[in-house]
Amino acid sequence: MRSYKIRVLTLSQDPKHNKSEGKEPQGNSEELTAKEYRLIPVDDNGNSGGNAVNIVELMKYVRDQYRIIAKITGCFLLIGLLIAIFSPVEYTSEALLMPEMKSSDSSVGELLKDYGSILGMGDMGSMDMSSEGTIAPEVYPKIVSSLSFQNQLLEHKVYFANIDTTVSGYTYFKEVKEWSFFELIVEYTLGLPGKISGEKEIRQLPDWLREQFNKNKVIELTKKDLEVIREMEDRIEIELDSGTGVLTVSSQMPDPIAAAQINNQVISILKDFVEEYSTQKAKEDLAFAKEQHKQAKSRFEKVQNKLATFLDQNVKLSTAKSQSEEQRLQAEFDLAYNAYNSISQQLMKAKMDVQEKTPVFKPIQSVNVPNEKSEPKRFLILVLSLIVGIIVSFFFVAGQQIYDQNFSVPN
């Protein structure tokens, strides 16, 4: 409750003050006094000019306005109920993987170092079997969200049991998928300006220009394709537990079997991408080593046959010329054999290198076909709607009371 105090203001005229200024007092020399009475609002602690709110009275006021609170809360509950009923049903498939963590000295590298000389491969300790060129698991989410990955995923055929049809992801989201009530509302309210503006599609690359991008492929996507990619990207989640190193891959779709297929395809494409990146240089070296080994083997066999033929024709080797020719062929044979043996070692090392750099994903939990829907969480939606409704109604009633006390103009 606001209280008031009386302040008295006195205005006086001092004859001495007038005299000091050289002015004669007018009339009698009595002090002229005027008094003004003002009402100054003060708070309960006696401080003037305060706009403090009485919390007790405010809570009483809020309690008395329970009907307004009930109405506002009821409206939010109704909205929450509509959302819970008309939200589309979704299923989430999940898989747990343990990606291989490469070390500088792996088992294959240690094997080559320890037994290389026994296998006739010389000293393998100097060979580099490190993990350079591998992809850290922390980069996997970026790979999955890339346009090339999503485009490859959406081109894959998926069987939808609820509609008994097999279509690509692009076809499903563009033509087959049934829109929910709230998706239609958003599309024709928030998305209406984009439909009205009618953005022109970007022109496709001409054939002569497309040929220049053969080595580094260019993805040509329409505006609708990009919208589908964004929707699919939101349905895929990949997380890495830095503490345990476990990779969690989950995919969400309106059909449980389709969710499992999409999740399995995500893992398959990710494995292929990581393997191709990690082993690309090693496979190129292996192909080169195979070609060199083939040529060295051919040269060695030719020299070997040539030496054998010469020895068959010159059994006694009685002349100096024949002895000189034998020495020349023997030297050529030794050179071809050493080259062939050396390249054979390099070929074995290249094969080991490919095996070493091939990533391994050990499944802890395989892809599952979900039996229960993951969305919508109807009970949670209703609880949150109730809480939000109570909070909004409280602030509405309290704000109205504070406004009336401090800013309303009295009649």
pLDDT tens-digit readout, 121-168: 444 444 443 345 678 888 899 999 999 899 999 999 999 988 889 999
Alpha carbon separation from 254 to 94, 313, 365 (Å, rounded): 15, 82, 22
pLDDT cut 70: percent of the chain above it:
67
φ, ψ of residue 308 in degrees (nearest 5): -65, -40
The listed range with the strongest mean pLDDT (38-42, 256-260, 373-377) is: 256-260
- Which has more confidence, 63 or 39? 63
Higher pLDDT, 74 or 207: 74
231 CA to centre of own chain: 13
End-to-end CA distance of the chain: 19
- Tell me how far apart the alpha carbons of residues 360 and 356 are, in angstroms, rounded to a whole number: 10
Please give the pLDDT value at position 85.
Answer: 84
| pLDDT score at 100 | 73
Residue 47, pLDDT score: 46
Mean pLDDT comparison of 109-113, 213-217, 298-302, highest-scoring range: 298-302
- pTM of the entire structure? 0.64
User: Which of 20-24, 89-93, 330-334 shows the lowest mean pLDDT across its residues?
Assistant: 20-24
206, amino acid identity: P
Q: What average pLDDT does the segment 229-243 reach?
A: 90
- Supply the pLDDT for residue 19: 46
User: Distance (Å, rounded) from C-alpha 224 to C-alpha 349?
Assistant: 49
Q: Which residue type is seen at 224?
A: K
Distance of CA 112 to the CA centre of its chain: 39
User: Which pLDDT belongs to residue 347?
Assistant: 92
Q: Which of 34-43, 189-198, 331-340 has the lowest mean pLDDT?
A: 34-43
Cis peptide, bond prior to residue 193, ω within 30 of zero: no
The DSSP element (H or E) to which 225 belongs, if any, is helix 223-235
312 pLDDT exceeds 70?
Answer: yes
- Write the burial class of residue 108 (CB in 10 Å: 0-12 exposed, 13-18 middle, 19+ buried): middle
Residue-level pLDDT at 404: 73
pLDDT bucket at 65, cuts 50 / 70 / 90: confident
Location of structure tokens 């009275």:
57
The SS3 of residue 264 is: helix
Listed in sequence order, the DSSP H helices in 314-360 are 320-357
What average pLDDT does the segment 69-84 reach?
88
Across 210-238, average pLDDT: 80
The pLDDT score that the predictor gives to residue 205 is: 63
DSSP-assigned letters across all residues of 358-378: S--EEEEE-----SS--B--H
Looking at per-residue pLDDT, the higher value among 13 and 228 belongs to: 228
User: What's residue 288's pLDDT?
Assistant: 93
Q: How far apart are CA 369 and CA 251, in angstroms?
A: 11
Which tokens belong to 183?
């998706």
Task: Locate 76 and state its tokens.
Answer: 């939010």
91 or 399, greater pLDDT: 91
Greatest alpha-carbon span in the chain: 167
Per-residue tokens: 94:
């999940």
**Mean pLDDT across 363-378:** 88
- For residue 383, the model assigns a pLDDT of 92
Q: What is the mean pLDDT of the chain?
A: 76
Q: Which of 159-168, 180-189, 319-328 has the highest mean pLDDT?
A: 159-168
Residue 32 pLDDT: 46
277 vs 42, which has greater pLDDT? 277
Determine the pLDDT at residue 325. Answer: 85
pLDDT at residue 31 in the model: 46
- The mean per-residue pLDDT over the stretch 337-355 comes to 91
Name the band, by pLDDT with cuts 50, 70 and 90, for residue 259. Answer: very high
pLDDT, residue 187, reads: 63
Tokens read off for 197: 């503006």
Q: Report whether pLDDT(392) > 80.
A: yes
Q: What pLDDT, on a 0 to 100 scale, did the predictor assign at position 126? A: 42
- The tokens for 108 are 């294959």
Percent of residues in the chain assigned helix, strand, coil, to nearest 5: 55, 15, 30
Q: CA torsion, points 341, 342, 347, 353, in degrees to nearest 10?
A: 140
Give the mean model confidence (pLDDT) for residues 316-328.
80
CA 309 to chain centroid: 69
pLDDT of residue 181: 63
pLDDT for 265:
94
